[in-house]
Amino acid sequence: DVKVTQSLRYLVKRTGEKVFLECVQDMDHENMFWYRQDPGLGLRLIYFSYDVKMKEKGDIPEGYSVSREKKERFSLILESASTNQTSMYLCASSLGGANEKLFFGSGTQLSVL
Amino acid sequence: AQTVTQSQPEMSVQEAETVTLSCTYDTSESDYYLFWYKQPPSRQMILVIRQEAYKQQNATENRFSVNFQKAAKSFSLKISDSQLGDAAMYFCAYRWNNAGNMLTFGGGTRLMVKP
């Protein structure tokens, strides 16, 4: 089975701190995605990547950046965390192509105080 | 831009009964997929069912079936013989086939199952 790992289940940070959220997949998937999940808003796409060192903005990229130096790893970076970035962050991956199944990690609940 | 709307923030159903979760979407495209995902308390998103827009026949997976009304842009999920393990958040999602593998999600419906 494909495994998408987000090692931190919960994370608490202070306003202004830099935050790294890491996602690792073990099935050589080309595509990787970062979503944030908020009550009533569902999941919204922050950034995605189709290949190593490639990144594309999603619907809500402001305040975030990403890094994909290795195929299996996709990091989400909050340069200066703010309270409105308190949310659940979900990573997903899939093979290349339009019809491939998405596999999700189990999320990191980030609280910014 | 595509939008997906789930008008029921919460639903409840008695164990063994049937419940229908609603979803509407807005798109000008004709080639797309629709999905229902389940998110239990473990947070792991699980694909429940998917429907290709060009297929008129409604998709079915065991106790889960959809009512896909393309002209009305409606995509409801019916859960028959509800079980306690069906309690979860359910998300409806849309994917345009020319947009890579990016999904647009609705706001979610929390389903509670009463014993």
**Among A12, A8, A33, which Cα is nearest to A21's?**
A8
| pLDDT tens, residue by residue, A64-80 | 999 999 999 999 999 99
Q: Cβ(A29)–Cβ(A93) under 8 Å?
A: yes
Q: Which residues of A touch B101 (CB under 8 A)?
A: 31, 33, 94, 97-98, 100, 102
In a domain, A65, yes or no: yes
d(CA A52, CA A55): 8
- pLDDT confidence tier of residue B35, bands split at 50, 70 and 90: very high
- pLDDT confidence tier of residue B45, bands split at 50, 70 and 90: very high
Residue A89 has a pLDDT of 98
Which of A42, A98, A107 lies at the smallest CB-CB distance from B97?
A: A98
In a domain, A29, yes or no: yes
| pLDDT tens, residue by residue, B56-90 | 899 999 999 999 999 999 999 999 999 999 999 99
Structural domain range at position B14: 3-114
In a domain, A105, yes or no: no
Give me the percent of chain B exceeding a pLDDT of 90.
83
CATH code of the domain containing A54: 2.60.40.10
In a domain, A62, yes or no: yes
In a domain, A71, yes or no: yes
Specify the residue for token string 């199952």: B113
Residue A96 has a pLDDT of 77
| B42 at A interface, C-beta within 8 A | yes
| Closest chain B residue to the Cα of A6, Cα to Cα | B44
**Among B41, B45, B43, B31, which Cα is nearest to B92's?**
B45
- What six digits make up the tokens of A49? 């990547």
CATH code of the domain containing B71: 2.60.40.10
pLDDT along chain A (113 residues), means of 10: 89 97 94 95 95 93 97 97 97 82 94 98
Residue A64 has a pLDDT of 98
| A88 at B interface, C-beta within 8 A | yes
Q: Do B43 and A42 touch (CB under 8 A)?
A: no
Residue A105 has a pLDDT of 95
| B103 at A interface, C-beta within 8 A | yes
In a domain, A104, yes or no: no
Query: Which residues lie across from A25 on neighbouring strands?
Result: A4
pLDDT at B27 over 80: yes
* Among B23, B43, B47, B103, the residue to mutate for chain A (most A Cβ within 10 A): B43
Residue A2 has a pLDDT of 67
Residue B2 has a pLDDT of 82
| B4 at A interface, C-beta within 8 A | yes
3-state SS class at A85: helix
Q: Do B42 and A44 touch (CB under 8 A)?
A: no
Tell me how many domains chain B contains: 1
Structural domain range at position A21: 4-98
